[in-house]
Amino acid sequence: MHIVSAKRNFELRYALGQMIPAQIEKEILIEAPIHIVWRIVTEPDQIKQWFCPDAELDSRTGGAGRMAFEHGYTYFLEVVAVEPPSRFAYRWLREEALKARPENSTLVEFTLQAEAGNTRLRVVESGFEKVDWTDEAKVKYIEENSSGWLYYLGRLRDYARRANTAASR
């Protein structure tokens, strides 16, 4: 299975000689049932296996969390939607002391759909048109996170395949 970019959002801005998309959208088909992928996306011990080495998360609407990555960034989260097993969303930002708002954070939304025993996972990171960042900061962030989501979704796919094999034994 290949990771594919979902349809492009055509609401774009032009800055620094580049188009700034309103969101990052990635989609992948994972060879594991939806209940396994749901756990992998929402439970801190599972998140640590594919996304970041240090994760704390209260996976309830309004819950808080923290994800620290090996490259040095730490994100602070506020969960905004929990609809098992099909939708999980949070706002994240790099400033711990701030409350996540559309002006200072982006929204990360995972949508899961069962598909013939597998799971189609779509991740959308949005809100770039609302954050109070310079266009240069937006371009850099979008470039980093666009390639980052491809990388981490590949890790999630591989981990889910192993977790599904172990669960079926």
End-to-end CA distance of the chain: 23
Closest C-alpha to 86, from 68, 113, 123: 113
Model's pTM, two decimal places? 0.87
Reading the block at residue 146, the tokens are: 């666009």
The tally of CA atoms less than 13 A away on the side-chain side of residue 27 is: 10
Coil, strand, or helix at residue 96?
Answer: coil
Q: What is the pLDDT along the chain (169 residues), one digit of tens a residue?
A: 445 444 444 344 554 456 778 899 999 999 999 999 999 999 999 999 999 999 999 999 999 999 999 989 999 999 999 999 999 999 999 888 788 999 999 999 999 999 999 999 999 999 998 999 998 899 899 999 999 999 999 999 999 999 988 877 6
